[in-house]
Amino acid sequence: MLTLYPSFDKFDTLHVTLHEVRLSDSPCYKALSYCWASEDGNDAKHSLLYCDGKLISVTENCEAALRNLRERNELVLWIDSTCINQADRTECGHQVGLMRSIYKNASSVLIYLGEPQPDTCEETGQPVAKIVTDFLRKFTLQMEVSTRTWSLEGFEKTSTYQEFSQKAHSAFINRYQDTPALIRGLQDITSRRWWQRVWVVQEASLLSRGTTILWGNTSIPYATLAWLYETGLETRDFPTQIALSPRNSGTNFWVVKYHLGNFRNAEPPTYEPRIALVVLDKVRNLKDSDPRDRVYGLLSLIDPENSIVLMQDYNKTTAEVFILVSRRLIEVSKTLDVLHYISEIGSSSSPSWVALESTQST
């Protein structure tokens, strides 16, 4: 675990310490989920902080997350880039195998999206981030009342949802020539690089109602955003769904819908080879820093019973991992369904029947 030491000044030098813990001892900590790379794709470790009195290098986005998280009291965090020895492949495999337990046992999960766009409302001059957070704050209050006797029809009639729906229809009618600030802000949130990570799919099944989204130094309850999306998607209102869609084509809207649209009804994953294939295919265009994470980053979803991959092993090559999983899916399912998911992008290092070619990287 990492202990982040307090400071009254956001720009003071960062000081942390690392210490070993056992999950069986029920330690109290928060888990940080973030994208290693910044929004411009910079994942170089050029930022410095003091760890146990010695300088270490982290990415720019990791530094920004720690600065926005730093409080007036010590904060104990689990952060993959610093709490896992990334140079030790055996340790990486072991820690990835604990990922589900790490997230499930955290007192809360913090999702860091980066800084908001420097955008303001043309009518009021207010920062768009403030407009979004004020709207979601009102939405939270009405959500807390509505959830006591939840119904889609009743929820659609709340004043905050009506406000959102009107702005969505206005933007749609005007062909998005003058998109309202609220819609721009919501699209900024779901267009972030965080949603493009292959790991976010597994994390969707691990988040609790105490999960918080950090948008710069602004905190947004994850449940609030999820309720807005779930309501908007269930209405099947096209202008509303367009307004909820990420504004860039790089974000896989399936991931956003999977993450936010199913939050209230989230259930523990159950194993079925066909579902495993569908999930593996859906994430084909998501980004990864290591292609093997297209398997290892999804194991709690596609292989909760460890029937496909017995353990995460970063000593295996990418080709070896993809061949193993494709062969095991054929053996376990006793079908050749895997052939329906063969990538159009071939690989000279894998047989033609291997279904898990990586097409994106960070």
Specify the pLDDT at position 310.
59
If you average pLDDT over every residue of the chain, what do you get? Answer: 80
**Residue 10 included in any domain:** yes
pLDDT at 264 exceeding the cut of 90: no
147 pLDDT band, cuts 50/70/90, is: low
C-alpha torsion sign, points 123, 129, 130, 136: positive
Same domain, 256 and 133: yes
Among 244, 212, 217, 246, CA closest to 229? 244
Instruction: Calculate ∠ Cα 316-322-327, nearest 5°.
Output: 110
Specify the pLDDT at position 139.
80
**β-sheet bridge partners, residue 17:** 3
pLDDT at 93 exceeding the cut of 70: yes
DSSP string of 178-206? T--HHHHHHHHHHTSGGGGBTHHHHHHTT
Same domain, 152 and 192: yes
Q: Please give the span between the terminal C-alpha atoms of the chain, in angstroms, as a whole number.
A: 26
d(CA 344, CA 324): 19
- The model's pLDDT over 174-207, given as tens digits with 9 standing for 90+, comes to 777 778 888 889 888 888 888 888 887 777 667 7
Where is the domain boundary, 106, 136, 162?
A: 106
Q: Bigger pLDDT: 50 or 301?
A: 50
Same domain, 230 and 179: yes
Non-local CB neighbours of 237 within 8 Å, separated by 6+ positions: 165, 168
- 33, 77 in Cβ contact below 8 A? no
Same domain, 305 and 251: no
Same domain, 253 and 280: no
Same domain, 234 and 284: no
**Residue 113 included in any domain:** no
SS3 call for 55: strand
**Residue 137 included in any domain:** yes
303 pLDDT band, cuts 50/70/90, is: low
pLDDT at 40 exceeding the cut of 70: yes
DSSP H or E stretch at residue 167 = helix 159-173
**Residue 357 included in any domain:** no
Same domain, 144 and 257: yes
Same domain, 238 and 322: no
Percent of the chain as helix, strand, coil, to the nearest 5: 45, 10, 40
Same domain, 176 and 101: no
**Residues of the domain holding 334:** 273-341
**Total of domains in the chain:** 3
Same domain, 133 and 53: no
Specify the pLDDT at position 77.
96
Dihedral Cα 34, 39, 40, 43, nearest 10 deg: -10
- The model's pLDDT over 268-295, given as tens digits with 9 standing for 90+, comes to 445 566 667 777 777 777 777 788 888 8
Could you tell me the two tokens for 36?
A: 């290693």
What DSSP state is assigned to residue 250? T
**Residue 148 included in any domain:** yes
pLDDT at 346 exceeding the cut of 50: no
Could you tell me the two tokens for 78?
A: 């689990």
Specify the pLDDT at position 345.
46
Specify the pLDDT at position 260.
67
Which pTM was predicted?
Answer: 0.83
Same domain, 146 and 224: yes
Beta-strand relationship, 54-58 and 75-78: unpaired
Non-local CB neighbours of 7 within 8 Å, separated by 6+ positions: 70
Collect contacts of 131-138 with beta carbons under 8 A, ≥24 apart: 131/181, 131/182, 131/185, 132/182, 132/185, 132/186, 132/189, 132/215, 132/220, 133/215, 133/218, 133/220, 135/160, 135/163, 135/164, 135/182, 136/220, 136/221, 136/224, 136/225, 136/228
54 pLDDT band, cuts 50/70/90, is: very high
Specify the pLDDT at position 257.
67
Same domain, 149 and 235: yes
**Residue 15 included in any domain:** yes
pLDDT at 164 exceeding the cut of 70: yes
- 23, 105 in Cβ contact below 8 A? yes
**Residue 241 included in any domain:** yes
**Residue 139 included in any domain:** yes
